[in-house]
Amino acid sequence: MKLLQDLSYAELNELVGRYGEPSFRAAQLYSLAMRHKEYEEATNLPKKFLVALSEEYYATALEITETYRGKDGAEKYLFSLRDGCVIEGVYMPHNYGDTLCVSTQVGCRMGCVFCASGLNGLVRNLSAGEMLAEVLAVNRLHGGTPEKRAVTNIVLMGSGEPLDNYYNVTKFLRLVSDERGINISLRNISLSTCGLADKIRKLADSGLAVTLTVSLHAATDEKRSALLPVNRKYPIAEVLDAVKYYFAKTGRRIIFEYALAEGKNADVKSATELAELVKGINCHVNLINLNYVKERGMRGIASGEIKEFMQTLESRGVSVTLRRSMGNDIGGACGQLRARYIAERGASPKGAEAEEEK
């Protein structure tokens, strides 16, 4: 079975023609998909057409099966995909707009040593429609429509490495920013990568000028390789060259993420190395005090140490903030909810299809 939400407006036009329906049916189907509605909720489409369509396409790519609400207003969702796999997302309300953290893969293969997303490895890539459905499902949950959005900002920062799923992610960006759909501006979308330099350059040439957020986490190859194994393939110098190319092509300021891990990268020497590394790059450093993940055993640092790290950067002219941590009481860090769900239920990370094979 295929997914209706994978299709662009042009692809829907081709689809209705194949079923012998007039072209205006494409707009009706597109409206249904963008509102995250099932076929039985359609009031303006012929039943015979819907029955035939339902034999080939699911109307929606996923459903929200669990919702956890934090004291700070954040919400964490467990999404069930059509094949039984589960992913997660986090909704974060802010005074400047409400943000959804979107997953791009089921699991992850990057192997970052502090992250829960890769605990069970990579199962598969998400399709463009599955990513879009995360946004549309939460938008509907909060009373939003394509015309009046409840989700106004997106961060591709959930489970998965977006640039490891390049084709589907770039199609998602085109779908989610389509003015006939939910029409979220590319300027309101951030893409977080651990530094796949070749794909950063490819994204720069794509015309999809989102905010690029690079997970740096250390300023020397020795320290970074110990935290992010991908650094052995894409060392810091190569990543920074790609980042400078991205800025030159898009004019968008680069965001460097830096997770502060006790005993690893959070001392004054590390701060000094970081300041020296990013000197001359039009960038902002976003510090994150590491969320504790019991399977990883790494911790963040005390507030006084964070302040000292920030002051070291600021004294050297680096623009820096500490990211507001939301959803700590509901397992807000990437991959925590999915890992807990799999462990508690004895479920396969690969979903229902894997269960059937047992």
User: Which residues are identified as catalytic?
Assistant: 88, 334
CA dihedral 354, 168, 80, 83 (to 10 degrees): -30
> What gap in Å lies between CA 81 and CA 167, rounded to an integer?
19
Q: Is the CB of residue 236 less than 8 Å from the CB of residue 220? A: yes
